[in-house]
A and B are shown apart, each in its own frame.
Chain A
Amino acid sequence: DAGITQSPRHKVTETGTPVTLRCHQTENHRYMYWYRQDPGHGLRLIHYSYGVKDTDKGEVSDGYSVSRSKTEDFLLTLESATSSQTSVYFCAISEIRRQGDYGYTFGSGTRLTVV
């Protein structure tokens, strides 16, 4: 178990408001990722982090910012929420599973609705 917790699990917010989603991990993983999942699009990478204060953009980063001030927390902020950002957001970490093998593990997701 990679010990990933996402909060909140569900959120409804109004258009134009800022929203912050939190991903918390307990096992000191270096790499963390934020994805969104929408019907017909699969999972798309928003931002990722490869260490404290080290972040970079993914393929759908517009309208999102991230911060990682400590190893265990990776925050995703919607600066001014829009209806197009209604989605399910997943946090992920990459971890070594067995010798020479590794994988990505996902949190349980946050369902965000922007009205």
Chain B
Amino acid sequence: EDKVVQSPLSLVVHEGDTVTLNCSYEVTNFRSLLWYKQEKKAPTFLFMLTSSGIEKKSGRLSSILDKKELFSILNITATQTGDSAIYLCAVEALITGANSKLTFGKGITLSVRP
């Protein structure tokens, strides 16, 4: 059974802090790892990672994947109150042919205090 574990489950920081969110996984037929941010509604896409050691960046957010050790981290630098959200890690696995499915972790609730 595919498994995705995120840690910590919740985190409270102050504006300006740097945070690191962790995601480890066990999955058969790995295809990609995805990070999402969820505020009040639907999850919104942040990053998709397929190759080890290649950092993806978007503004103050960055993420990297280690396919040997089966984990990924999401870094947020100079946090702002608008970064407060649930951060979801999901692993995509191939099923058959081009079919795939996502398995999600439980999410990390980040609260950024002014």
Q: Which of chain B's residues have a CB closer than 8 A to the CB of A92? A: 102
Q: How many A-B residue pairs have CB under 8 A?
A: 52
Give residues 70-115 of A contacting B (CB, 8 Å). 90, 92, 94, 97, 101-109
Question: Is B99 an interface residue when CB atoms closer than 8 A count as contact?
Answer: yes
Instruction: Give the docked Cα–Cα distance between A35 and B90 (Å).
Output: 13
Give the contacting residue for A104; candidates B34, B98, B99, B105; CB below 8 A.
B34
B48 touches A103 (CB 8 A): yes
- Whether B34 contacts A103 by the Cβ 8 Å rule is yes
B93-107: which have CB < 8 Å to A? 95, 98-107
A31 to B100, CA, bound (A): 9
Contact residues of A with B, CB < 8 Å? Answer: 31, 33, 35, 40-45, 48, 50, 56, 58-59, 90, 92, 94, 97, 101-109
